[in-house]
Amino acid sequence: MLFQHLLHQGTGACGTVRLNRRGMPTFPKKMKRGKVTFRENGTQLAVNWQDKRDLNFLTTVHPSSMAQSGRLDHFTGEPKVKPACVLDYNKKMGAVDRADMITSFVDCARKSTKWYKKLFFHLLDTAVLNAYTVHRKLFEERMLYKDFRLKLVKELIQEHPLPRRSTGG
């Protein structure tokens, strides 16, 4: 239902999905490694691909085709082929994993049971990482992410200092 809603709003989507989700088609139970099955309903493509384990994808932006992965099978020496949606998903997830790794070292999240606080700090970390990425593209100066965050905080404090409270007694 989510992918249908996104597609109706003009946004394509691709991602992994569990086979027991409501509305998912049925696939063969046991397949040999490298085998793939496609099911399409006109707007969505469901893919079941057997690699090291059973992988299931749902996409609204990919065709039902296989593509070369750029690697060779070490048993046969032939190029490895994977579904196009798997290759695209892996490429995009690499960037997400890298962003998660970078922010994990210096994230500002604190232990909290309030979901909205966790969400706020996650969004703050993401905004700072995006600013760092733009800074690296615009300026030749190479700066570590940790140093960028410190410099950002110092500049924000200088720009918006808190008024001093009088200790009148």
**0.85 cut: is pTM over it?**
no
Give the rounded distance of the alpha carbon of 87 from its chain centre. 14
- β-partners of residue 22 are none
List the pLDDT tens digit at each of the 169 positions of the chain.
888 899 999 999 998 888 888 888 888 888 888 889 999 988 999 999 988 888 899 999 999 988 888 888 888 888 888 999 999 988 888 787 788 888 877 766 666 678 888 888 889 989 999 999 999 999 887 889 989 999 999 999 888 877 777 776 5
Residue 122 and residue 108: Cα distance in Å, rounded?
8
Q: Which residues of 22-32 are buried (b: 16+ CB within 10 A; e: fewer)?
A: eebeebeeeee
Q: Are 45 and 39 in contact (CB under 8 A)?
A: yes
Tokens 């989510």 sit on residue: 2
- Residue 36 DSSP SS3: strand
Q: What does the CA dihedral 158, 159, 160, 164 come to, rounded to 10 degrees?
A: 40
Number of C-beta neighbours around residue 157 at 10 A = 10
Q: Say what the pLDDT of residue 74 is.
A: 81
CA angle 45-50-55, nearest 5°? 55
Domain boundaries, the chain: 2-92, 107-159
Q: Are 115 and 109 in contact (CB under 8 A)?
A: no
Closest CA to 84 of 42, 53, 29, 38: 38
N-terminal to C-terminal alpha carbon distance within the chain = 64
- β-partners of residue 56 are 48
